[in-house]
Amino acid sequence: MEKEKDIIRDIISGMFIASTNDSACIVDTVLQVSSDKEPLISVCINKNNYTNEMIKKNKKFAISILGNDINGEVIKTFGFNTSREINKFDDYDYLELDGVKVLKDSLGYLYCELVDIVDTNTHNIFIGKVIDSKRFKNFEPMTYQYYQEHKDELLKVKTNDNKTAYVCTLCGYIYYGETLPDDFICPICGAGKDAFERQ
């Protein structure tokens, strides 16, 4: 069967921060599973990410929904770093729910109790029952497609301080350096050197 892999990018998705105690990361894989009185949602998280390990440990997570007004630094901080090394909320205002931080500069949050985990080769799908939620503001939610179209300006890829940058065309990860090694693999999405564009 012929595979045109880029058709997968036509699946519209949003932009979020998935958080749990001591860990948080950018995700674009949140879905509503059911819209009951206590709705169920799912989020898909790579097994290499610290947030995956910590959701399994804490059995709860929150989703902060990002709007088109979000500062690109938030995406860099939460999407291109690991909570194993930094506290990503250090520079941002947050609300804390039972030790789980949510971003105040988001459209709002869904706070969930973990009810199920689906295992796939590389990712887990975490299913959560929404036990609390709050809207902080009304604004247009950011889609992953919007992020893709605006990632250069959002991430403000700087090349004017004598640094050369290579940007991953799949996820936006920025590599600074004069040459990109032939065997370079994007630490975020696993794309190879061919997916990178020199700025």
Ligand X SMILES: Cc1cc2nc3c(=O)[nH]c(=O)nc-3n(C[C@H](O)[C@H](O)[C@H](O)COP(=O)(O)O)c2cc1C
In the complex, minimum distance from the CB of residue 23 to ligand X, in angstroms, rounded to a whole number: 5
In the complex, minimum distance from the CB of residue 131 to ligand X, in angstroms, rounded to a whole number: 22
Of the two residues 38 and 99, which places its CB atom closer to ligand X in the complex? 99
Judged on CB neighbours under 10 Å (0-12, 13-18, 19+), 6 is exposed
Handedness of CA 163, 92, 47, 54 (dihedral sign): positive
Segment near ligand X (CB under 6 A), from 39-47, 102-110, 135-143, 178-186?
39-47
Window 45-74: residues binding ligand X (CB under 6 A): 45-46, 49-51
Of the two residues 89 and 147, which places its CB atom closer to ligand X in the complex? 147
Go through 62-74 and write b for each residue having 16 or more CB atoms within 10 A of its CB, e for each that does not. bbbbbbeebebeb
List Cβ neighbours of 101 (8 Å cut-off, separation of 6 or more): 19, 24, 62, 89, 94, 95
Segment near ligand X (CB under 6 A), from 34-42, 80-88, 107-115, 161-169?
80-88
Position among 19, 64, 83, 106 found at the interface with ligand X (CB under 6 A): 83
Length of the chain equals 199
Segment near ligand X (CB under 6 A), from 31-39, 82-90, 96-104, 159-167?
82-90
| Residue 169, helix vs strand vs coil | coil
Segment near ligand X (CB under 6 A), from 32-40, 43-51, 55-63, 98-106?
43-51
| Residue 86, helix vs strand vs coil | coil
147 is a site residue for ligand X (CB under 6 A): yes
Helix (H) or strand (E) holding 166, with range, is strand 165-168
28 is a site residue for ligand X (CB under 6 A): yes
25 is a site residue for ligand X (CB under 6 A): yes
Q: Could you tell me how far CA 146 lies from the centroid of its own chain? A: 14
Q: Report the interface residues with ligand X, using CB under 6 A.
A: 23, 25-29, 44-46, 49-51, 75, 79-84, 147, 171-172, 188
